[in-house]
Structure 1
Amino acid sequence: MQMKNRTMLKLSILLVSVITASAPAINANIPVLAKAFPNVPLTQVELLTTIPSFFLMLALLISDRIARKIGIKNTVILGVTLTAIAGLAPLIINRFWLLMLSRAAFGFGVGLFNSLLVVIISYFFQGQERSQTIGFQSTFEGFGGVLVTFIAGQLVQINWHMSFWAYVITVPALILFTLFVPQITNDQKTSNVATQAAPGHKGKLAALLLLTFIVITAYMIMGIKVPTLMVSAGYGTATDASYVILGLSLGAMLGGVIFGRMFAALKNYILPVSMLLMAIAMALIALSNSTWLTVFGGFVTGVGVRQFFPWILNSVNADGNGSVNDTALILIVYNLAGSLSPYSALLIQKINRFSDLHPIFWINVGIFGALTVITLIIILINGRSKVQSRRIS
């Protein structure tokens, strides 16, 4: 493949990745939508922000089956087409039930191609280029979420219909992907991806799923509780808390950019490093009594989580033992942990009867600190086992 075509292939995949984190872009529109539909209960209006995630998880469960029947590229095209139609449909929709249906369809469309993007990257790129591209994919996801949310927030000042023009990014993504990403037949896929999992693969996958759930739950709790912590501690406002989320997003984008180089330098040791970064970040937030230190803590959290999650995706696909289903399971657990995180935080508060929110962040410090030690020990043990196996053979 020529360098120019290879660059366009990578750009096409990354541009589609922009869409995957854009579903929450209209979350800030809820007050405006509530006024636009005064006869609809607020709880139903708020469902517009959560229903995409539910249908995303539903689509993840069946995307592999669809891909086997119509092909990986065609499934991605189908998903992106659905997000384009569903994302832009509210420009002319005036009935609430149709708006709800469009949000469900948007989430379903994202779920169709979300896990397949990693499989496509794993097929076309190898070694450091693969890990680097997965890192860039993570960056484009974060950048897309910020960009689409910002555009929607500006356009909603005109009216709520106009805010959905933010999803016009789906159109060039669809065109470029159709033009520059080659078809992958089932024969090509199986020649590059093992059809049978290696011994111990199920155990490794189960461990990765559990790790993902724990890390993402703690990470999401941080994002949910920071605004309340800052206001209740008396050193910040809701507006100041938005700077923390911005810092988190910027850190995530930086983390995605440097992941390829970090992984090349550290290999699997990037996992305990990411846990350590998040432990430090949570400690900074727990100790903070100023907005900017908390913003910095959010920034470090973003860097850490974007070293962790690309590593997870790379690990599932790195040895040719992964599959669309494995990647889909990781993404389902990721979304499930995020959806349950408000209730997880509430459970932690009730069990421990905290009078303020600082102890939650210290619990996060403990979780990430423990994971730093545990993952480091496991990597060291596995490294010694491989060395001994080579000596014996």
Structure 2
Amino acid sequence: MNKSNKIRIIISIIAISFIQGLQFSISPVLGQIRESYPGVSVSMVQMLITAPALCSMVVALASGVLVMKTSKKKLLLFAGFVAGITGFIPFLSDSFSLLFFSRACYGIALGLACTLNTAVVAEFFQGDERVSVMGIQSASIGAGMVFITTLGGVLGAIDFRAAYFLHIIGFLSLAVIAFCLPDTGKTGSPGGKGVRLNGKVLRISLLGMVVFLFLITYTTNISMHLEGKIAGDSTVAGLLTGTFSGAQIVMGLILGSVVKITGKYTLPAAMMLFSAGGILLILYPENIAMLMAGGALCGFSQGMFVPRAMCEVSDAVAPAAAAMAAACFTCFMCFGQTISPFVLNTVSGLIFQTVTTGHVYLIAVSAMAVAAAVVFIWKSIWESEKTTEMKGA
């Protein structure tokens, strides 16, 4: 494949990533949405960010089978259309239920984009080049989030409903995919072989669920975490979410170099970055500079964890099963996001007898640190034993 074709495919990957970034289009205005619908619980408002993940779980699993029925390109074109149209559904009526419905439907686009973006990378790139392009994918998701959340915060200063217009990005992505992504047809699997998953895919997928149970708390809580003079400021909330995304961009661009340093410990290192960032959020809820530093560390964490985990699951299976492996990881990751508000708010209530963003961050930071230690030990002992066995064989 020549350089020109590779560039066009990478541009397509960036367009798909922007569809994924729309999950956080209303993150900066969650506080305003909560005020506009006072009868709705905090957890339900936060679910506007995580509800798409619930729907995308089903779609992600289905996409692993759908790629054997139709082409990735056609599925991604449909994802772009759905991402675009769901941004305009809430304008039909001033109803939280309709808003929630539109966000859930957006999950169809999210599930297809998350799964097939990885499958596209796995199809066209191999080895170290795959790691680098996966980093570009992560960086472009971050770039989309920076643009979307920052502009969402600005639009939210006018009216929170103005943030819905950002879903025009779905239609723009559709046009880019139509022009740049080759249509390679449906995925072949001779004799039904090559679509089998394995234990490693399941282990990493379970880890993804645990990590995103905690990592998503940055986005779902940050706009309501602000105190002092910056309390309730959607522009500041957009800036902080943009900082998170900007850090993800930087990490995505340097991921290849970072992985060479961290090696098999990339995943636990990424998890510890979140814990470090979360500590700053807890200690300095009124200080914009420290909040930005905390957001940057959390962004580095996601920018490191997701592409590396996606690489590991796609490398663990045959090429024909890459979409299914990515679907499995996406499903578990989305499940963790979906249940996060209810689980952590409930745990906060049980431990502290009250639910505050500070308490939620404390629980997430502590649990993530423990999980990182477990993964570090697993990588040190279990994988080392496996390597020794393979050398002995």
State the TM-score, normalized to the length of structure 1.
0.80
Whose Rg is larger? 1
In structure 1, the residue matched to 2:17 is: 17
Q: How many residues align?
A: 382
Matched, 1:314 2:311: yes
Alignment of 1:263-282 (within 5 A): 263-282=259-278
Alignment of 1:195-274 (within 5 A): 195-197=195-197, 201-202=198-199, 204-225=200-221, 230-231=226-227, 237-239=231-233, 243-274=239-270
In structure 2, the residue matched to 1:283 is: 279
In structure 2, the residue matched to 1:327 is: 326
The Cα of 1:52 is off from its aligned counterpart by 3.8
Kindly report the root-mean-square deviation, in angstroms, between the aligned alpha carbons of the 2 structures.
3.8
Letter of the 1:255 partner, please give it: M
Distance 2:30 2:39 in 1: 9
Letter of the 2:250 partner, please give it: L
Q: Which runs of 5+ in 1 are unaligned?
A: none
In structure 1, the residue matched to 2:61 is: 61
Note closer, same or farther for the CA distance 1:300–1:235 as it changes in structure 2 (3 Å cut): farther
Q: Which moved more, 1:244-253 or 1:82-91?
A: 82-91
Judge conservation of contact 1:26–1:149 (CA < 8 Å) in 2.
Answer: yes
The Cα of 1:83 is off from its aligned counterpart by 2.6
Distance 2:32 2:343 in 1: 29
Q: Which moved more, 1:301-310 or 1:167-176?
A: 167-176
Judge conservation of contact 1:123–1:189 (CA < 8 Å) in 2.
Answer: no
Matched, 1:298 2:292: no
In structure 1, the residue matched to 2:349 is: 350
The Cα of 1:226 is off from its aligned counterpart by 5.1
> Which whole-Å deviations, capped at 9, do the CAs of 1:184-238 have from their partners, x for residues lacking one?
34465769x93334xxx23x2332233222221222334445566553xx68633
Distance 2:34 2:102 in 1: 17
Distance 1:243 1:58 in 2: 32
Letter of the 1:238 partner, please give it: G
Judge conservation of contact 2:245–2:299 (CA < 8 Å) in 1.
Answer: yes
Alignment of 1:1-393 (within 5 A): 1-26=1-26, 43=40, 52-87=52-87, 93=92, 103-154=103-154, 163-186=163-186, 194-197=194-197, 201-202=198-199, 204-225=200-221, 230-231=226-227, 237-239=231-233, 243-288=239-284, 291=287, 292-321=289-318, 322-353=321-352, 361-393=361-393
The Cα of 1:259 is off from its aligned counterpart by 1.9
Q: Which moved more, 1:280-289 or 1:61-70?
A: 280-289
Judge conservation of contact 1:63–1:113 (CA < 8 Å) in 2.
Answer: no
Note closer, same or farther for the CA distance 1:184–1:190 as it changes in structure 2 (3 Å cut): farther
> Which whole-Å deviations, capped at 9, do the CAs of 1:310-329 have from their partners, x for residues lacking one?
22111110233454333223
Secondary structure of 1:246's partner? helix
The Cα of 1:124 is off from its aligned counterpart by 0.4
The Cα of 1:301 is off from its aligned counterpart by 1.5
Note closer, same or farther for the CA distance 1:42–1:30 as it changes in structure 2 (3 Å cut): farther
Letter of the 2:291 partner, please give it: T
> Which whole-Å deviations, capped at 9, do the CAs of 1:273-320 have from their partners, x for residues lacking one?
212322322333344476122331221111122211222111110233
The Cα of 1:65 is off from its aligned counterpart by 2.9
Letter of the 1:320 partner, please give it: V
Distance 2:278 2:100 in 1: 36
Distance 2:74 2:189 in 1: 14
Q: Percent identity?
A: 20
Letter of the 1:15 partner, please give it: A
Note closer, same or farther for the CA distance 1:32–1:313 as it changes in structure 2 (3 Å cut): same
Q: Which moved more, 1:132-141 or 1:325-334?
A: 325-334
Secondary structure of 1:69's partner? coil
Higher relative contact order (CA 8 A, sep 6+): 2
Note closer, same or farther for the CA distance 1:55–1:8 as it changes in structure 2 (3 Å cut): same
The Cα of 1:7 is off from its aligned counterpart by 0.5
Distance 2:111 2:226 in 1: 35
Distance 2:109 2:357 in 1: 37
> Which whole-Å deviations, capped at 9, do the CAs of 1:22-42 have from their partners, x for residues lacking one?
04424566798899xx9x996
Distance 2:383 2:50 in 1: 42
Judge conservation of contact 2:121–2:133 (CA < 8 Å) in 1.
Answer: yes
Q: Which runs of 5+ in 2 are unaligned?
A: none
Note closer, same or farther for the CA distance 1:216–1:113 as it changes in structure 2 (3 Å cut): closer
Note closer, same or farther for the CA distance 1:155–1:371 as it changes in structure 2 (3 Å cut): closer
State the TM-score, normalized to the length of structure 2.
0.80
Letter of the 1:311 partner, please give it: R
Distance 1:374 1:341 in 2: 20
Note closer, same or farther for the CA distance 1:4–1:190 as it changes in structure 2 (3 Å cut): farther
Note closer, same or farther for the CA distance 1:189–1:314 as it changes in structure 2 (3 Å cut): farther
The Cα of 1:142 is off from its aligned counterpart by 2.4
The Cα of 1:160 is off from its aligned counterpart by 7.6
Distance 2:102 2:108 in 1: 10
